[in-house]
């Protein structure tokens, strides 16, 4: 018999034997582990609930459906608090904002042909086994509804023994589907795929980075401005999460007239801010900036937006370039943006809104800023990756 003492930041339970890490358990539970690794809950936690999804036991898409929402929120807040406090920082921590079920607007599914047709779904935890998920509680109804069509697409796109990736994004005028496969795109297959897209109401179908057909622009709404992201471009996981992050960024930069948006992507923050301030958007991927620029030019009542394609890891904006701005917004990848943060620390900029999907690198970068005189009064935790170990944060930095 083992007792679960705590959870890791990945949701694995640390057992009382000092070496076992067990999945889908909760602190305080007594468990037995069979020789095949199967975990049996002997004494369940009061925080344990029945999973809301019937696929939970076999699917590897979720890690925490066995716990109450309140427990998951507290656990994720604790991950952020621990990372920040490890650097000696003590801001206020706002309540966690959790996206609702069935709100994930992008899903990366796998497809495989079968004797009877095809199967589309997620892999089991740490497994190559594919699990169909027709009642998935994560993704939007539009993504659920298209799964039978994705099975038909798999028959067209997948070799007999291979497997394909299907990235599906919920767009206003129909799903946006990106197919990653080793099958060649022949002229005949192109005709069949175009007919398929029309039949199933897709807005766009892309094959290994090559657009096959665009029936309607797969637009996303960024603060009232329509943008058509390039295939596979970064997008916040849920509209709720995007809105929550944007509200915090707007609060932080409310008094700024000139804003620089670092790692701007397709304009998640740039375009809403441009309703009241001039914005310079900097991003390493030219295609995303082109989409942002087109959205701005077709938008209404927006202030001036300029764009710059630049690798901010190798060539961060330096203090003399940052002196033109009242505030900076920075939303780097998981690795953080140490070089750009260091340049911001040396600059004279007064206000920074930092968004991050990694509490560890966020805390490291936050420490660098506070060491040179910035204050960080609060941190907002956003859980748009419901039932997973992932978490996002946003915080203000104001130079004293």
The whole-angstrom separation of Cα 281 and Cα 200 is: 36
Among this protein's residues, is 357 annotated catalytic?
yes
Scored b (16 or more CB within 10 A) or e, 288-302 reads bbebbbbbbeebeeb
The whole-angstrom separation of Cα 235 and Cα 105 is: 9
- Written as six digits, the tokens of 393 are 């944060």
Name the 3-class secondary structure at 205. strand
The whole-angstrom separation of Cα 262 and Cα 373 is: 21
Strands 176-180 and 164-169, sheet pairing: antiparallel
Say how many C-beta atoms besides its own lie within 10 A of residue 2's C-beta.
19
Q: 236 labelled as ligand-binding?
A: yes
DSSP, res 148: H
Say how many C-beta atoms besides its own lie within 10 A of residue 353's C-beta.
25
Closest CA to 139 of 162, 109, 184, 163: 109
The whole-angstrom separation of Cα 85 and Cα 232 is: 35
Q: 196 labelled as ligand-binding?
A: no
Query: Which is the catalytic residue, given 59, 158, 266, 357?
Result: 357
Positions marked active-site: 357
Q: Residues forming the annotated binding site?
A: 236, 263, 283, 331
| Annotated binding-site positions for S-adenosyl-L-methionine | 236, 263, 283, 331
């Amino acid at each position: 018999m083992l007792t679960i003492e705590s959870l890791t930041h990945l949701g694995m339970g640390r057992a009382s034997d000092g070496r076992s890490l067990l999945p889908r358990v909760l602190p305080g539970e007594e468990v037995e582990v069979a020789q095949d690794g199967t975990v049996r809950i002997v004494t369940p936690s009061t925080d344990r609930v029945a999973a809301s999804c019937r696929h939970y036991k076999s699917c590897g898409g979720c890690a925490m459906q066995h716990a109450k929402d309140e427990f998951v929120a507290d656990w994720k807040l604790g991950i952020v608090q621990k990372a920040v406090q490890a650097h000696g920082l003590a801001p206020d921590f706002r309540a966690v904002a959790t996206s609702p079920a069935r709100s994930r607007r992008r899903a990366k599914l796998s497809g495989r042909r079968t004797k009877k047709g095809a199967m589309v779904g997620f892999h089991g935890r740490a497994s190559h086994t594919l699990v169909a998920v027709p009642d998935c509680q994560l993704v939007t109804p539009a993504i659920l509804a298209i799964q039978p069509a994705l099975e038909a697409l798999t028959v067209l796109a997948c070799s007999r023994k291979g497997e394909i990736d299907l990235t599906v994004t919920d767009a206003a005028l129909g799903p946006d589907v990106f197919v990653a496969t080793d099958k060649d795109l022949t002229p005949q297959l192109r005709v069949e795929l175009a007919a398929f897209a029309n039949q199933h109401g897709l807005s766009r179908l892309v094959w290994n980075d090559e657009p096959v057909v665009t029936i309607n622009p797969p637009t996303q709404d960024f603060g009232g401005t329509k943008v058509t992201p390039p295939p596979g471009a970064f997008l916040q996981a849920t509209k709720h999460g995007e809105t929550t992050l944007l509200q915090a960024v707007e609060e932080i930069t409310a008094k700024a007239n000139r804003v620089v948006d670092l790692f701007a992507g397709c304009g998640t923050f740039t375009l809403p801010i441009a309703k009241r301030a001039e914005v310079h958007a900097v991003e390493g991927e030219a295609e995303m900036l082109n989409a942002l620029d087109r959205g701005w030019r077709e938008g209404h009542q927006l202030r001036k937006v300029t764009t710059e394609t630049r690798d901010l890891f190798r060539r961060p904006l330096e203090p003399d370039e940052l002196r033109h701005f009242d505030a900076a917004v920075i939303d780097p990848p998981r690795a953080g943006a140490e070089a750009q943060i260091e340049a911001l620390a040396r600059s004279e900029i007064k206000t920074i809104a930092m968004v991050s999907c990694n509490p560890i690198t966020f805390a490291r970068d936050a420490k660098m800023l506070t060491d040179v005189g910035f204050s960080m009064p609060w941190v907002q935790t956003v859980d748009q990756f419901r039932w997973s170990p992932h978490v996002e944060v946003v915080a203000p930095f104001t130079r004293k």
